[in-house]
């Protein structure tokens, strides 16, 4: 599934509920899922981590839909030419630099 397909799928599944909730409520759900992913990375099973990654990605797609942002376009613009910091692939930024 591509990013565009993911966004479309999430929009078809939950679009009306997401619109009614709005971005602030959606962001709160997204952050809750990030917290659950954090817990799964610390102490969860592989299956729990897989499911929490899916939840975080789905809620990110929901946020992007609500904000009118296409994730595939965002990734292409930010990372399509390599690292945003050094423009190299692979990144040659130092370990302390944030690309």
Residue 14 located in a structural domain? yes
CA distances from 40 to 1, 22, 27, 34, 66 (A): 24, 27, 20, 10, 27
Residue 80 located in a structural domain? no
pLDDT, tens only, 62-88: 999 999 999 999 999 999 999 999 999
Residue 35 located in a structural domain? yes
Q: State the pTM of this model.
A: 0.91
User: 91: helix, coil or strand?
Assistant: coil
d(CA 97, CA 28): 29
Q: Could you tell me which residue, 94 or 82, shows the higher pLDDT?
A: 82
Total domains in the chain come to: 1
Residue 90 located in a structural domain? no
Decide if pLDDT at 99 tops 70: no
Q: Are 57 and 6 in contact (CB under 8 A)?
A: yes
pLDDT, tens only, 4-49: 999 999 999 999 999 999 999 999 999 999 999 999 999 999 999 9
Residue 11 located in a structural domain? yes
How confident is the model at residue 97, as a pLDDT? 72
Q: Are 76 and 40 in contact (CB under 8 A)?
A: no
């Amino acid at each position: 599934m591509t990013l565009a397909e993911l966004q479309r799928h999430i929009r078809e599944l939950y679009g009306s509920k997401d619109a009614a909730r709005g971005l602030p409520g959606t962001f709160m759900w997204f952050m809750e899922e990030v917290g659950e992913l954090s817990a799964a990375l610390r102490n969860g099973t592989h299956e729990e981590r897989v499911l929490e990654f899916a939840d975080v990605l789905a809620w990110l797609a929901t946020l992007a839909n609500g904000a009118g942002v296409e994730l595939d376009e965002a990734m292409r613009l930010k990372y399509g030419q390599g690292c945003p910091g050094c423009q190299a692939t692979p990144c040659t930024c130092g370990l302390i630099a944030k690309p």
